[in-house]
Structure formats: structure tokens, C-alpha cells
């Protein structure tokens, strides 16, 4: 081994790496984010090695203290990361050797960087699952406040972005509470599945040392050790589940963000975004732009991109570890950071935004939004088959449109011209309030139904 060769694995090497080799090989630029998890894993491993008599208690104690010093150096920013040492694992171990000397060389007994990195990354992604659930719930709480304030504000419900039927603001907010609830449960499910320890799988085949994998699993908060050492070092389904869950959540956020962009426009005025989550224009003094909503709308791009990226890295890789898998981290870090930011921005926007009940009501009252109520009335009160009622109502919508009126503005005579069974009573269902109040089916938009769902979610989220 020359002086240039790597001190961790350079025994069989006569020369050090080319500079380009070092640049493409090193991951320390990004995997230093795993420092805390790496040290946690090493502490658990060292304690287990001592408990099983593989190393002495004295060595384990020196390692433990040394690792705590390394951790504090990293936390305080005095640690000097070295690209020549490739990654976080070798950076930590090399510094440990500077600090405590020979015992540091015993830490890597019965372990490989393969099970080490799988362990570190699992711990990190597991933490992000928990963080995602917390951020999602904060957003759900902000939505509940909005839903409660406007449980009976009438607004247009859309299909094809065309006015469909009146709904309530509260109902619309609660739709996102439901979606986010499933998002949170996806992260919780992923967490439960990934919560098994790869540590002790060693390079790929396990080890001949009498290790105690149950002990390290328990020390790291895992439910159990992974049952197959090849699987333990080879699979990256856990970040893929995280990214898939993140992509679905980001897709939900993107849809809501798009609605906020539309709703805050001068043409809609359904909602006023707060100054705190808007920006101005450098040339047009009147502008107040919903930049935060636009950026949340866009975040799905990089999060889904990371998902596709990691799937592409992993597909076709033969078991077990290949260096390709070092490319599993950066995009997960980026996706996680941006998901948390998007959730926080959305929470802030929702908390600060002001719905405009008058504009919502005016919009709900136009566009023949109660045409279905008229058709339902014809079925219920005049005994028409729904298809006929649909046809009669359609002809009345055409008549109203030709006259530049809304349905409730037609005269009774005009109504009767479409079907003689229509009476004055029909006007009671043509108002938007009556329309929403009548939708009392489970999960429907009637304010009473909405309030029942708000109460249910308040219970869940406390």
C-alpha cells in the first residue's frame, strides 16, 4: 500500500485514485446528512460488540466517548469532511481513529458499509415519515379552521371547471382533509414496513461473529432485525415508498395550490391570500401574486422526478449492493426537504387566507347550478322518470340562457311551458341554500353533514 492509497481499504492498492475517480466516487458532499444516524448506528453496534464479548468493555467505552466527540464536532461545524475519505462512514471512522487510536479499528468488526448505509438511511427516512405526518396534520388543522368558519358558505362545485352544483366552502376544505388523511396514513404504513434493522447483515452474507442483531435492532428503535441479509443490504424499497407517498401528497398539494391560484384571481375573488404569502410585481404596482401557491403547485415536478429517478437507478440491479445505490440519497433528501417546505407553505397560506362568502355565493348562483335540483323536483313531485326530467330541465336552461336569466328568474308560466306539472313549489329548490341543505346523504355537502365530518376529524387530530 502506498501513502496515496486509501487507509480504510488500500491494502491491496499500489496507487491512489485519479482525481476524477475521487470526484465520481465520493458521496460525502451529501451523505454527511446521515451523520447523526451513522453515529447512532455505530454506538448501538459497539455496545452490542462489547455485550457479546467480541470487543472489550474498555474499547467499547473509548469508542462510545469518541463517537460522542465526533458528533459534537459535526453539530458545531468544526468537523473537517474529507472527499478522499469518500463517505460519511469513513469520515467518522477516520476521525474516531484520530481521537482514540487503536480501538477505533475494532468498531467495524462484523459490519460492512453495506449494512451500515442501509441502516443509516432507514433511520433517516423513518424520521422523515414521522416529520411528514406531523406536517400533514398541521395542515389538516388549518383546513379544519377554514371549514368550520365557512361550513355553510355556498360556493360553486365544479366538474370540468364548469359550474356543476352548489357546494359549501366547508365541504371543499374537508375534501382536502380527507386526502391528506390518506397521505398521512401512507407515510405511517411505509414507516411500519421499513422499521426493521439491516444492521448485522454485514457485506451481504451475515457474519461468523456471535453478534446479537435483536439487541442492535432494539437499541435503534427497530421492531426486529431483517430476516435475510441479502435483502437487507440490497433493497431500497423503503425510500421508494417514501418517495411514492411524497409524490401522491405533492400531487394533492398541487391541485389545491392550483385552486388557490385560480380563486385568488381578480376574475374569481373567492379568496384573498395574505400579504405574508404573496409577492408584488417590480413593474405592475397593482399586482399581488400567489407565488407560494404557484411554487407548491410546482413541487410535484422534482418530487415525482426523484421517484422516477430512484426507480430507474434500482431497476435491473442484480443482488446485492452495487455502487449505483449510492445514487439513492440526494434526490430523497431534496424531495423530503421540498415536501416539508410545501406542506409548511400550504399550512401558512391556509391559515392566513380569507374566504369571500359574497363572491362565492354570487358565483354559486350563476351558471344554472341548481338545474339538478329542478330535475330532482320533477322526479319527486311530478313523478317524471329522471331522464325525462333531465330533458325538461335542459329545455328550461336553454330558455333561461336565451333570455339572459338564471333559472329562479324564469316565470311560472315559462316553467309550465316546459312541463304543465310544474307548480310554484319548484322555486323553493332553486335557491342555492336550499340546494346544499338538501344534500344530506352521508358525505354530502349539507352543512350538517360537513359539521359532522369536522367534529370527527377534530377528534382524530387531537
Site for ligand ARG, residues 3 to 42, rule: CB under 6 A: 27, 31
Q: Binding residues for ligand ARG, how many (CB under 6 A)?
A: 10
224's grid cell = 426486529
Of 112-120, 253-261, 385-393, 423-431, the window that binds ligand ARG (rule: CB under 6 A) is: 112-120
When the beta carbons of 37 and 114 are compared against ligand ARG, the nearer one is 114
Q: Is 114 in the site for ligand ARG (CB under 6 A)?
A: yes
Kind of pairing between the strands at 162-168 and 196-197? unpaired
75's grid cell = 453539530
When the beta carbons of 8 and 421 are compared against ligand ARG, the nearer one is 8
Which residues of 57-198 form beta strands (DSSP E)?
154-159, 162-168, 196-197
In the complex, minimum distance from the CB of residue 331 to ligand ARG, in angstroms, rounded to a whole number: 13
In the complex, minimum distance from the CB of residue 296 to ligand ARG, in angstroms, rounded to a whole number: 31
When the beta carbons of 31 and 347 are compared against ligand ARG, the nearer one is 31
In the complex, minimum distance from the CB of residue 325 to ligand ARG, in angstroms, rounded to a whole number: 5
- Cβ(393)–Cβ(371) below 8 Å: yes
When the beta carbons of 109 and 434 are compared against ligand ARG, the nearer one is 109
Of 110-118, 285-293, 304-312, 397-405, the window that binds ligand ARG (rule: CB under 6 A) is: 110-118
Q: Is 87 in the site for ligand ARG (CB under 6 A)?
A: yes
Q: Is 346 in the site for ligand ARG (CB under 6 A)?
A: no
* 162 strand-pairing partners: 159
Q: Which residue has the cell 359549501?
A: 168
Q: Is 119 in the site for ligand ARG (CB under 6 A)?
A: no
For residue 191, which of 235, 227, 241, 234 has the smallest C-alpha distance? 241
For residues 66 and 226, give the distance between their C-alpha atoms in angstroms, rounded to a whole number.
29
Is position 160 annotated as part of the catalytic site?
A: yes
Considering only 63, 100, 104, 117, the residue that binds ligand ARG (CB under 6 A) is 117
Which listed residue (160, 208, 282, 441) is catalytic? 160
Which listed residue (185, 265, 281, 366) is catalytic? 281
CB atoms within 10 A of CB 202: 22
When the beta carbons of 66 and 239 are compared against ligand ARG, the nearer one is 239
Q: Is 314 in the site for ligand ARG (CB under 6 A)?
A: no
- Cβ(426)–Cβ(377) below 8 Å: yes
Considering only 33, 95, 111, 113, the residue that binds ligand ARG (CB under 6 A) is 113
For residues 172 and 263, give the distance between their C-alpha atoms in angstroms, rounded to a whole number.
13
DSSP string, 342-410: HHHHHHHHHHH-EE-HHHHHHHHHSSSTTHHHHHHHHHHHH---HHHHHHHHHHHHHHHHHHT--GGGS
Site for ligand ARG, residues 315 to 334, rule: CB under 6 A: 321, 323, 325-326
DSSP 160: T
SS3 for 39? helix
Just list the catalytic residues.
Answer: 160, 281
Residues that bind ligand ARG (CB under 6 A): 27, 31, 87, 113-114, 117, 321, 323, 325-326
Amino acid at each position: 500500500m502506498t501513502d496515496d492509497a486509501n487507509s480504510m481499504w488500500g491494502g491491496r492498492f499500489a496507487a491512489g485514485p485519479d482525481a476524477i475517480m475521487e470526484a465520481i466516487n465520493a458521496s460525502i458532499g451529501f451523505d454527511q446528512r446521515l451523520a447523526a444516524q451513522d453515529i447512532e448506528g455505530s454506538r448501538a453496534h459497539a455496545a452490542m460488540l462489547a455485550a457479546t464479548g467480541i470487543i472489550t468493555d474498555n474499547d467499547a467505552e473509548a469508542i462510545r466517548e469518541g463517537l460522542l466527540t465526533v458528533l459534537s464536532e459535526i453539530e458545531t461545524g468544526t468537523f473537517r469532511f474529507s472527499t478522499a475519505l469518500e463517505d460519511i462512514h469513513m469520515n467518522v471512522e477516520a476521525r474516531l481513529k484520530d481521537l482514540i487510536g487503536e480501538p477505533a479499528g475494532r468498531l467495524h468488526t462484523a459490519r460492512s458499509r453495506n449494512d451500515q448505509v442501509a441502516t443509516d438511511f432507514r433511520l433517516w427516512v423513518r424520521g422523515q415519515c414521522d416529520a411528514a405526518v406531523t406536517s400533514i396534520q398541521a395542515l389538516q388543522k388549518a383546513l379544519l379552521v377554514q371549514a368550520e368558519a365557512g361550513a355553510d358558505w355556498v360556493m360553486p362545485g365544479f366538474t370540468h371547471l364548469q359550474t356543476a352544483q352548489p357546494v359549501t366552502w366547508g365541504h371543499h376544505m374537508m375534501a382536502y382533509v380527507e386526502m391528506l388523511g390518506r397521505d398521512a396514513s401512507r407515510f405511517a404504513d411505509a414507516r411500519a414496513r421499513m422499521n426493521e434493522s439491516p444492521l448485522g447483515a454485514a457485506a451481504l452474507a451475515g457474519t461468523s461473529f456471535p453478534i446479537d442483531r435483536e439487541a442492535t435492532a432494539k437499541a435503534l428503535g427497530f421492531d426486529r432485525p431483517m430476516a435475510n441479509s441479502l435483502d437487507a443490504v440490497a433493497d431500497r424499497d423503503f425510500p421508494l415508498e417514501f418517495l411514492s407517498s411524497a409524490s401522491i401528497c405533492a400531487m394533492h398539494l398541487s391541485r389545491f395550490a392550483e385552486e388557490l391560484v385560480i380563486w385568488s384571481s381578480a376574475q374569481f375573488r373567492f379568496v384573498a391570500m395574505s400579504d405574508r404569502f404573496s409577492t408584488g410585481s417590480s413593474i405592475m404596482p397593482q399586482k399581488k401574486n400567489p407565488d407560494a401557491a404557484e411554487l407548491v403547485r410546482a413541487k410535484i415536478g422534482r418530487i415525482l422526478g426523484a421517484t422516477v429517478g430512484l426507480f430507474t437507478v434500482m431497476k435491473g440491479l442484480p443482488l446485492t449492493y452495487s455502487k449505483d445505490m449510492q445514487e439513492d440519497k440526494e434526490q430523497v433528501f431534496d424531495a423530503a426537504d421540498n415536501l416539508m417546505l410545501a406542506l409548511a407553505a400550504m399550512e401558512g397560506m391556509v391559515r392566513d387566507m380569507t374566504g369571500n362568502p359574497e363572491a362565492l355565493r354570487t358565483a354559486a348562483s350563476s351558471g344554472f347550478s341548481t338545474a339538478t335540483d329542478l330535475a330532482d323536483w320533477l322526479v319527486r313531485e311530478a313523478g317524471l322518470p329522471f331522464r325525462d326530467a333531465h330533458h325538461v330541465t335542459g329545455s328550461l336552461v336553454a330558455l333561461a340562457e336565451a333570455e339572459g336569466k338564471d333559472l329562479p328568474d324564469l316565470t311560472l308560466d315559462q316553467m309550465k311551458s316546459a312541463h304543465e306539472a310544474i307548480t310554484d313549489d319548484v322555486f323553493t329548490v332553486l335557491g342555492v341554500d336550499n340546494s346544499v341543505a338538501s344534500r344530506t346523504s352521508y358525505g354530502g355537502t349539507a352543512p350538517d353533514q360537513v359539521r359532522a365530518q369536522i367534529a370527527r376529524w377534530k377528534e382524530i387530530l387531537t
